[in-house]
Structure formats: C-alpha cells, structure tokens
Amino acid sequence: MELTGTNPKNGPATSTSDFSLATRKRTLPNCRDEIVTALESLIAEHGHRSFLVREVYERMVAIGTSYAELTVYKAMQRMKLSDPRLPGIRLERVGAGGFRLIKNITS
C-alpha cells in the first residue's frame, strides 16, 4: 500500500486503488425482508391480505426477529411507497395500525 500523504488529525492517507468502493451484498435479512417473510406466512395461514402491525410483529417475534415493534411499524410505513429493491411489495394503510398488501409478493 502506497501512502499518498498524511493528515495530522486522521493519520496517513491511502491510495483509493487499495479499496473496493463497490457496495457490499447483504448477508443478513433486514427488517423489510423479515416483514415480507412474516407477510408470506400470515397470507398462507389466513388467506387475506390485511394485517395489523401487531400481527406482523408477533409473527416476526415467533420467527426470531431482533427488531423492535416501532422499527417494524416504521418500515411498514415506508413500504407504502414504491421501492426498486422490493418491486413486488407495496402496502396500503387501512384503519388504525393496519396495512393491506396491494401488490403480490411473488411478482
């Protein structure tokens, strides 16, 4: 590794060719992934596509999630918008604390 200079506050600078700037591939499921898994399980069990956050969270806890209920709620709120990372998933708000799946999980 060739040093390109030093910075007294941060230590030696390094050449950018020594590091990959490409994004890392996720190895662990994130909150959205766990929500999708819980939704798939609930849809298979109940057959309907509307669920309370509490139901989704309870299923996630049963599966072994480490996320807090508030994190799940906020993630489900963000899933109301189109997301290119999850093109087949879109939720719609129904009632107090409820969400409905309006796009198929399998698309």
Encode pLDDT of 68-101 as tens digits. Answer: 999 999 998 888 877 666 667 788 888 887 898 8
Q: What is the pLDDT of residue 107?
A: 41
What does the domain layout of the chain look like in residue ranges? 31-101
The predicted structure's pLDDT at residue 97: 76
**pLDDT of amino acid 56:** 94
Q: Which residues contact 56 (CB under 8 A, 6 or more apart)?
A: 35, 38, 39, 42, 72, 76, 99
Give the model confidence (pLDDT) of 25-69 as tens digits. 656 778 988 998 999 899 999 888 889 999 999 999 999 999 999
